[in-house]
Amino acid sequence: MKFRTILTIIGVVIGTSSIIVMVSIGNGAQKSITDELSGIGSVTTLQVYQDLSSMGMTSMGGGKTDDKAILNDDAIKDLKKIDGVVAVTPVVNLSGGEIEVDREQYGVSLMGVDYAVLEDMRYVTTSGKKPGANDENSVILGKDVLTSFTYTGASTQLTESEVKPEDLIGQNITMTIKRTNANGEEEMKTQKLKVTGVLESTGGNEDYSIIADYNLVTELNEWQTGKKANVKKQGYSQALVTVEDSAVVNAVTTEVEAMQFTVFSMQQILDSMGSVFQMLQILLGGIGGVALLVACIGIVNTMTMSIYERTKEIGIMKVIGASISDIRNMFIAESTMIGLIGGLVGIVISLVLSLLINFIAGFFIGGEGGVTISFITPGLVIFALVFSALVGLLSGVRPAIKAANLSSLDAIRSE
Amino acid sequence: MHKDFKLGKEDINILKGINLDIEQGEMVALLGPSGSGKSTFLNVLGGLVPPTSGNIMIRDYRISEMTENELCLFRREHLGFIFQSYNLISTMTAMENVALALTFAGVKKEIRKERAIEALEVVGLVDRMGHKPSELSGGQQQRVSIARALVNHPEIILADEPTGNLDSKTSADIMEMIYRLNREENQTFVIVTHDPDTTKYCTKVIHMQDGLIESEVSQ
C-alpha cells in the first residue's frame, strides 16, 4: 500500500475516532445521569401538586380559590378514574419529630399516605412487610431514616448510625413531637409507632421519612399546628399517583394537567434530559465531524493524485475493454475501502480510548464499579462504520467520474 | 468480413479522405513518414478517436456511430491492440496483465488464469508469467502485450509500430509470431510501421502520405 494512502487512512481514523469518542462522552454523561435519575423514585409514580399559582392565591387572598382546582378527596377520586391509574394517595407531611433509638436521638419526618392503597403503590419493602389497611399505628421506615446529622465542631456531617432500620422491625418506637402553645410554653406529645418493615430505596423523600398512615399524620399535624385541617377547602399539598406502566405516564400527565394540577414525574425529567443530551451529542459529534470533513478532503486529494499518477493505466484499461462504469467503480471501490479501513481502525482505536478515558477518570473520581465517562453503544459503532464508508464513497465519486471520462487515447499517450 | 473506411476532412486535415477495404485474414502494413496520418488512422479504426466525418464499418458494426460505452464493449470482444511502448501495467505480473482484459469481460477468475496461460503459451512466455514488466526484456514485454491482445480471441488486431522499440533480431521474432497467428487463427492484422522489413510478412502494403493513401499493393 502506498504511503500516501496510509496517511489518508490515518486521516479517516482520526476523523472517525474523534466522532466516536466525542459522542461516547455525550452518551456517557447521559447514561450516568439517566441511571441516577431512574433510581430516584419509580418512573411509574407521578407527584401531583395543587397548582402552584392557586397555592399562592390561597395564602395571599385568604382562601379565595373558588375557580381553582383543589387537591381534596373529590379530586383524589377523580384522579383515580383516569385510565391507567392504579392507585392514588394524598400525602401529608409532618416534620420535627424525634425518636430515640439506642440512646441516640434522631430527627424524623413523617410521610402520611393512604394505607388502603399501600398495596397498590409500588413501594417495595426490603425486609419486613407493609402494614395492612387498618394498622394505623404501624409504620415503614425509609432506608436512610436513621442517618442523622451530627454536629462535630463547626461542620455538619452525615453519619451512619450504628443501628440499622432493619433492627427495629417488629419493635415499637416512641416518637416525640413538640409545639409551643399560646403562652409560649413548650408542650410535648409522644406517639408509639410499630415498625413493620423497611422500604427499598426510592431515591426520593421516602428514604429519609417514616411512612405512616395519613390519618395518623393528619391528627399529629393538627395537634402540632393547633388548627383543624380543612382538606375540602384547602386540599392536600401533594398526592401520589401510581400508574400501570411507564407507557401511560405521558397520557396520565396530560389528563392530570387538564385538571389544573401541577404534575411532576421522572418521565418528564428524562424526556427533557433526552433532548438536551441529543443536542449535546449533535454538538460533540459535529466537532468530531470537522475532523472527518478534513479527512474527506484528504481522500479526494489522494484519489485525484492517484488518477494523475495512473492516467496511463486507466488509458490502457479503457483500450483493452474497460467500460466507463468499470473505471468509475474501480476508483469508487478504492476510496470506499479507504473510508472503510479508516472507519474500522478508528472504531478499534476509539474503543481503546474509551476504556482508557474511563480508567483514568476512575482514578480521579473513584467510586465503585468503575466510572462511565465515555460510553460506546453498538449503534454508534455501526453508525461510524457506515458513515466512514459513505464518506469514502462520496469522496471518491468526483475523482472516479474524472477518471472514467479521461480520453483513452490521451491517457495512454501520457507518461 | 467487409470493412469500409470513408474518412472525411478534419480541421487540421490529418486524414484527408481515405477509402479502404480490408478482408478478413488479411495482414495489412501501413507505411508512411511521420505525420502521414497512419497512427491516427489506426486510432480511428480502433474507435479511440471518432472521425470528423465518414464511416467505419467492421462487419455489421458502424464504429463511427457508437457511444463510448458501446465502443468499450466492442473493443473488448472484437479488437486487440499492440503498442510500440507495450503499455503494460507496471504493478502487475505478466499473467495479470494478460488476464486484465478478461476481468472487464466478466470472466471468472479460474477461467481468466487458464486463458491467460494459454495466451502466454502461444507467445512462449509461460515460464515468465510471474514476472513484472520491469523484469522482462523489451521483446518479452511486447510478447506479453501480444498475449494480452490475443486473450479475447478478437477478429482484428491493431498494432501501432509493434517492433518500433526492438532490435532487428527481436523484431523479426515478433513479426514471425504475428505472421504465424495470422495464418493459424485467421486473425486480421493492421500494422502501422515505418520499417520496410516488417512489410514482407504482410499480404497488403499501404503507403500513406499527407493523410491520403498513396499506394495500395497486394503481395
- The C-alpha of A346 sits at a distance from chain B's nearest C-alpha, in angstroms, of 29
Residue A324 contacts B where some CB pair is shorter than 8 Å: yes
Cα separation, A351 vs A377, whole angstroms: 10
Q: Which three cell numbers stand for residue A368?
A: 465503585
Of A271-280, B132-141, B196-205, minimum mean pLDDT range? A271-280
Of A61-75, A186-200, A239-253, minimum mean pLDDT range? A61-75
pLDDT at A120 over 90: no
pLDDT at A123 over 50: yes
- In the stretch 164-203 of chain B, residues with CB closer than 8 A to chain A read none
- ipTM confidence score: 0.87
Calculate the alpha carbon distances from A50 to A219, A251, B156, B168 in Å: 21, 19, 95, 108
Q: Is A99 exposed, middle or buried (0-12, 13-18, 19+ CB in 10 A)?
A: buried
Helix (H/G/I), strand (E/B), else coil: A204: coil
A314, A319, A334, A409: best to mutate for the B interface, most B CBs within 10 A: A319
Q: Which three cell numbers stand for residue A273?
A: 434530559
Looking at residue A91, what is its pLDDT? 87
Contact B101 A326 (CB under 8 A): no
- The C-alpha of A413 sits at a distance from chain B's nearest C-alpha, in angstroms, of 9
Residue A32 phi, psi dihedral angles, 5° rounding: -70, -35
Higher pLDDT, A356 or A372: A356
Q: Which three cell numbers stand for residue A241?
A: 399517583
Number of H helices, E strands in chain A: 11, 12
Question: What is the b/e burial string over A240-257, where b = at least 16 CB atoms within 10 angstroms of the residue's CB?
Answer: bbbbeeeebbeebbebbe
- The C-alpha of A316 sits at a distance from chain B's nearest C-alpha, in angstroms, of 7
Looking at residue A363, what is its pLDDT? 80
Q: Please report where in the chains the cell 399546628 appears, as a residue.
A: A225
Residue B100 contacts A where some CB pair is shorter than 8 Å: yes
pLDDT at A64 over 50: no
Query: What is the percent of chain A where pLDDT is above 70?
Result: 88
Which pLDDT band, with edges at 50, 70 and 90, does A397 fall under? Answer: very high
Looking at residue A342, what is its pLDDT? 95
Higher pLDDT, B115 or A364: B115
The pLDDT tens digits of the residues spanning B93-118 come to 999 999 998 988 889 999 999 999 99
Which pLDDT band, with edges at 50, 70 and 90, does A38 fall under? Answer: low
The number of distinct structural domains making up chain B is: 1
Higher pLDDT, A10 or B196: A10
Closest C-alpha among A204, A188, A210 to residue A137: A210
Contact by Cβ (8 Å): A46, A253: yes
Q: For chain A, give every domain's residue range.
A: 3-37+272-413, 45-244
Contact A412 B83 (CB under 8 A): yes
Contact by Cβ (8 Å): B84, B161: yes
Calculate the alpha carbon distances from A65 to A35, A57, A60, A233, B145 in Å: 40, 7, 11, 8, 100
Contact A324 B72 (CB under 8 A): yes
- The C-alpha of B97 sits at a distance from chain A's nearest C-alpha, in angstroms, of 10
Higher pLDDT, A55 or A23: A23
- The C-alpha of B219 sits at a distance from chain A's nearest C-alpha, in angstroms, of 31
User: Which of chain A's residues have a Cβ under 8 Å away from the Cβ of B104?
Assistant: 317, 320-323, 326
Cα separation, B121 vs B115, whole angstroms: 10
* CATH number of the domain to which B58 belongs: 3.40.50.300
Residue of B nearest to A322 (CA): B104
Over chain A, what is the mean pLDDT?
82
Looking at residue B140, what is its pLDDT? 92
Residue B92 contacts A where some CB pair is shorter than 8 Å: no
Q: Which three cell numbers stand for residue A154?
A: 463547626
Looking at residue A142, what is its pLDDT? 82
Average pLDDT on A163-183 reads 81
Average pLDDT on A35-40 reads 66
| Per-residue DSSP letter, A41 | S
Q: Which three cell numbers stand for residue B36?
A: 502521414
Looking at residue A95, what is its pLDDT? 83
Which pLDDT band, with edges at 50, 70 and 90, does B11 fall under? Answer: low
Question: Which residue segment(s) compose the domain that B203 sits in?
Answer: 3-218
Higher pLDDT, B38 or A132: B38
User: Which of chain A's residues have a Cβ under 8 Å away from the Cβ of B105?
Assistant: 321
Contact by Cβ (8 Å): A64, A141: no
pLDDT at B193 over 70: yes
Bridge partners, residue B217, by sequence: B205
